[in-house]
Amino acid sequence: MENPESFYDAVLFQFFGTPVPVLDFNLITAGSVNQAVFLKTGKGEYLLKTNHRQNRNIFEKEAEGLDWLRRHTSLHVPETFIHGRIGDTNYLLMEWIASRTPLPDYWQKLGEGIAELHMVVGQKFGLDSDNYIAILPQINEQENTWENFFVNKRLEPMLQRAFYEGLISKDFMKEFRRIYPLLKGFFPKEKPALLHGDLWSGNILVNDKGTPALIDPAVYFGHREVDLAFSRLFGGFDRKFYEAYQHHFPLEPGFRERIDVYNLYPLLVHLNLFGASYLPGIQKTLSALLSNR
């Protein structure tokens, strides 16, 4: 983006239909996936997300995911205003969430809100359309059972992607597939629950009221333990979150023994996004499952 200010002006014109001055802007993130910019304008403050991906609907799907969350939880979910593409740049203009110190009951409210979200149930596992997790396509073709959906629409697509990208060998792929028969009867039988789908600390904000806000979802109807497992992958949330969730929507016994299996999916996602440093964690779970065969 050679002239970012001209791009910001163009996005604002698309939204308002008239020129709106940019009074100030500040780069918030400049990652390998998306850039996020704070815009202070003559008509308020906004967050502008951009990327140069070929998949033009990536921010459309993010906006749809945020809408799913907004309609089904009392937690703060930012409004989205406009998305599109100018030149070779995709963009999403959305509500700016100012931050402050979290209130003492921040984690309890988050636990209650995620439990509330998970109480929304569907008829099948999946969703009526595909979306993305980060920048990777996420296949949501519906299945009647969680085991089939988890294997066919979560593990296997990411496993194949890693193989075709040269990140794993054919022998590793064969070893991984040995766990599929072991997953029959492994998970508790529950109704498909509406999931955030990418629930880690980087996707939870503190808003200007000191309460939780959810961002960057990868929504679908799945096993609710997926979100809880993912929340523990990179350090975990405060214990008050898990206590509040358990109080409002108790988990079936044995959840801790299932965490690593659920987290094979986000580890495969990270393998495809960031490379082979995530292989040891995957191999550890495979070895544990296959040794108990």
Q: DSSP string spanning 59-102?
A: HHHHHHHHHHHHHH-SSB---EEEEEEETTEEEEEEE-----PP
User: If we measure between CA atoms, which residue out of 156, 143, 132 comes closest to residue 53?
Assistant: 132
Q: Which residues contact 157 (CB under 8 A, 6 or more apart)?
A: 137, 139
- Give per-residue pLDDT as tens, 238-289: 999 999 999 999 999 999 999 999 999 999 999 999 999 999 999 999 999 9
Active site residue 238: no
pLDDT digits (tens, 9 = 90+) for 134-166: 999 999 999 999 999 999 999 999 999 999 999
**177-218 pLDDT tens trace:** 999 999 999 999 999 999 999 999 999 999 999 999 999 999
| 195 backbone dihedrals φ, ψ, rounded to 5° | -110, 150
CATH topology of domain 106-291: Aminoglycoside 3'-phosphotransferase; Chain: A, domain 2 (3.90.1200)
Mean pLDDT score of the chain, rounded to an integer? 95
Please state the domain extents for the chain.
Answer: 4-95, 106-291
Superfamily of domain covering 4-95? Phosphorylase Kinase; domain 1 (3.30.200.20)
Q: Across residues 105-125, what is the average pLDDT?
A: 98
Whole-number percent of the chain with pLDDT over 90: 91
Q: Inform me whether the pLDDT recorded for 1 exceeds 70.
A: no
Report DSSP letters for 38-67, one per residue.
EEEETTEEEEEEEE--S-TTHHHHHHHHHH
38-50 pLDDT tens trace: 999 999 999 999 9
DSSP lists the bridge partners of residue 137 as 132
* Total number of residues shown for the chain: 293
Confidence of residue 293 (pLDDT cuts 50, 70, 90): low
pLDDT of 54 strictly over 90: no
| pLDDT over threshold 80, residue 31 | no
What is the pLDDT at residue 55? 79
Spot the catalytic one: 24, 128, 171, 198. 198
**pLDDT (0 to 100) of residue 39:** 97
Which pLDDT belongs to residue 34? 83
Count of alpha carbons within 13 angstroms of residue 34, beta-carbon side: 20
Taking residue 1's Cβ as centre, other Cβ atoms within 10 Å add up to 14
* 3-state secondary structure string across 109-141: HHHHHHHHHHCCECCCEECCCCEEECCEEECCC
